[in-house]
Copies of this chain bind each other. A is one copy, B any other.
């Protein structure tokens, strides 16, 4: 029997990232070094995960759902920069996000900021709601 089939799923079905901010500026046009924020999602289980994101703002109603699939036994490093349906995430604008899935997943948040010649990085595990 395959080792990965036995791997049980891990994590929570609901995650929150309270920080969100995509700098509009980047000194580099290299895709790896353009300023970006990412939700790194792991689906360690053996069923595909249907994941929905909702984006919250300071001065307008939340936008969503954004729908993505994270296949079984796969990770997805989802850039908020790339979200487009129902609407792109504006640059230079504070936001927050709630990430929900139909199976347990794990979510970690990162920003790479290249508004200056050098890059700055930050990361944290998202908050696992019950």
Residues of chain A touching chain B, judged by Cβ–Cβ distance below 8 Å, are: 3-4, 7, 10-11, 14, 16-21, 23, 32-33, 38, 40-42, 44, 54, 56-59, 61-62, 65, 73-77, 92, 94-96, 98, 106-111, 113, 115-129
B129 touches A121 (CB 8 A): no
A121 touches B120 (CB 8 A): yes
Shortest C-beta distance, A114 to chain B (Å), equals 9
Complex Cα distance A55/B36, Å? 24
List the number of copies, as a whole number. Answer: 4
Complex Cα distance A57/B76, Å? 8
Interface majority SS on A: helix, strand, loop or mixed? Answer: strand
Contact of A123 among B4, B61, B116, B122 (CB under 8 A): B122
Complex Cα distance A96/B70, Å? 13
Complex Cα distance A125/B126, Å? 7
